[in-house]
Structure 1
Amino acid sequence: MSSSTRPLVAFVDDEQMVLDALKRSLRSRARDWDMIFFPSAEAFWDVRSDDWPDVAVLDLTMPGWSGLDLATRMREAGAQTRCIMLTGNASLKDAMAFINEASVFRYYMKPCEPEILGAAVEAALADARERDTAATPSDGAVADAESLLADRLSIGTVVLDANQAVSFVNKIGLKILGGGGALSQDGARRLRTNNSETARALDAAITAAAQTGETGFVALSDAEGGRTLHATICGDPDSPGTAGVTLFISDPDLTRYPTAATLAQLFGLTGSESRLVEQLVRGLSLEEAAEINGLKISSARTYLKAIFQKMGVVRQAELVQKALTTSASIVRADEE
């Protein structure tokens, strides 16, 4: 669509007033991007070529093809375009479709502030550059396999980028974030809690995980006294200060955990070791797990060293991840 070496950004919306407003509000970006505007998904598709846009900002609800229809068709055609969805009536069902069917990069409620939308396009372009630099022939297959596995886990999996915005969330994670409970995400895809105390604890744990690579644990209680979520916050100790953060969120109403007996069979753990791991997998800290099992913290640490050796891991975050990817914690989509 463009022979320019500058990034190409497409905007598709059936409301001409919206397109005109986008042209005005993003005029200053013209020195950095080539921009094209279309009044329908079909109009965009009619002039498509092998030169797909780098980013496409799509209206979800349009006559004929929806924004999701267009994003899905582009993906099926092999386009590497990062899609940003704008919607006036977001729902959990929509969000799941955006992520799982069309790999939408981000989605926002209308009206979206020009500064936020501009930053989202820049983030999408940065993501494209990063993936192009790091890509190998097998990267796509690995990413698809990892996404499939995450979607089959009965524990919420949320990945934050370097700006602490949600860059990936699996199906259970979407149910948790969209369930109106202790944890949600805002229009900028940042995590939010409805309790100021847990908000501070979560922010501190995410910051520490990103900066040091250490693992943190936070209990997220509903302000109204509802169910409590347990979050295990994992950084990357090999790239502290730069890497994103992964959260594993257990919900008592949604999560199926491997039992102590199953863990003992799978990893050759003793009864005391398997009971300790069972609690760690549920999102408790080592101190909390030790107390529940009637252990001194020194004894729990001794057990943990033996558990690491038997499970072939070196960090508590790896222990949790390995336990949660056993057959006992994997569910089929049609069983949810």
Structure 2
Amino acid sequence: MTEKTPVRIAFVDDDEHLLSSHRRNFARLRPQWGAVYFNDPITARDAIAADPSIGAAVLDIHMPGMSGLELAAELRTVRHDLLIVILTGYADLQSALLAVNELGVFRFYPKPTNLQTILEGLETEIEARQGQAEDTLPTDFLDLFELGVIAVDADLSILHMNAQAAELMRGSSLVHSGSQGRLIIEPVPEGLESFLNPPAKMAPRKHQSYAIERDGEKLSVLIRRVPKKTDGKSTFMVILVDPAQQKPPAIDDLMDLFGLTRSEAKLTQKLAEGLALDQAAELVGISHSSARTYLKTIFSKTGVNRQPQLMKTVLSSIPSLR
């Protein structure tokens, strides 16, 4: 963008009510800017790719036909200069890290986020680019999440940390930052090293949860693996949760986080509330036999083999941002 180029924003969302709200408020908030609106991601892809005057795109992550991440990936191949913002109603930190690191997404906001907040972020970046500022990936997207979130490499060297994680570490004896910027977890969870750096013949696990306890202090730690496409190395999202303050996450969160089907997520949610399998099956509306079959699949997807482990894993997962 140059100073003589007018700012035009594309909004892509299958929610017509949200698009209507943007139409009503955009002109008032940024009368000097222009905007186009799409409720179909495929139509939006073709239009944005063909129109270099569109300098930024605000994309919903969950849309029929093509997700916001898929749309961002396709747009990035033809529009390297495009500012992309992703909106999501789901607490999916793995997608957030992928969006920032692999797709060059500028911001990743929970849905709903005030339109003024989105436009202020875009305006700051546009002004920086017009001033020939160095284009760098944002790190403050992590502050949008309610829990302590730390991005680390396989050596546990801290890459990014949000404000909530920094605050938690200041008051915890279980996690802290070492002298060389490494994340220290004490006591060291059993199997942590093999999860971060699996043996050559072992397939890497996507996620692993740990319950850390010492001298009455407790902390749940969920670690998600995010493979990098360029060099094959992985980064990790470490999510820190106080189990005393955590409630079972929403069904959609369980589907996003662990790849569960809706029926599996419903059953998992009930089990996380402390119900026996037969009670959970009755509430979900399935037979006890079907529940046992579902449970085997749930164990496989969540990386556990017992119901108490499942409860710990679920209760240390990410709460809803809705």
**TM-score bracket for the superposition, by shorter chain length:** 0.3 to 0.5
If the length of structure 2 is used for normalisation, what is the TM-score?
0.47
If the length of structure 1 is used for normalisation, what is the TM-score?
0.45
Higher share of residues assigned helix: 1
